[in-house]
A = this chain, B = another copy of it.
């Protein structure tokens, strides 16, 4: 099954967090599970905050790209279109807000689950939660904005 990110146009698929064409990046993959979008990602051993816990900047990055991917997928859904139809949707981040609820243990996969809170014109608001071993450790809200056509040109 193709992930949301697999539908990003090649010229805008270099994002360090989610671009399939960035060899150094996280290359996250996001899928629908019913009304929720889900990314599963295993941090590297060096993605440390305090020893034993995941770096908060990585969590912010995962929430960010998970949410912009969800925004794109949500826009296709809202238009009743498949993700391989034209024109493609690609979103950038207008704002990112993360609340760290508790330390996120390092070791094993994290699950980021998102829900669309609002679609308004070119903006999509996505609420995402990071789970470690089934426990919510951080929540985020991203205002994603449809990328201007001039980007990546």
Which residues in A have some Cβ–Cβ distance to B below 8 Å?
Answer: 11-12, 14-17, 19, 22-25, 44, 46-51, 55-58, 60-62, 64-65, 92-100, 103, 147, 151-152
Contacts and interface: CB of A to CB of B under 8 A. Distances in A.
A60 B96 contact: yes
B50 A17 contact: no
Contacts of A95: 97-100
A15 B55 contact: yes
Contacts of A47: 16
A32 B103 CA distance: 29
Contact of A61 (B51, B57, B97, B100): B57
A97 B48 CA distance: 21
A19 to B, nearest CB: 7
Contacts of A23: 46
A50 B12 contact: yes
B22 A48 contact: yes
Contact of A96 (B22, B44, B97, B103): B97
Contacts of A24: 44, 46
A56 to B, nearest CB: 5
A50 B15 contact: yes
A151 B50 contact: yes
A52 to B, nearest CB: 9
Closest 8 CB pairs of A and B: A57-B61, A24-B46, A16-B55, A60-B60, A97-B97, A14-B48, A96-B98, A95-B99
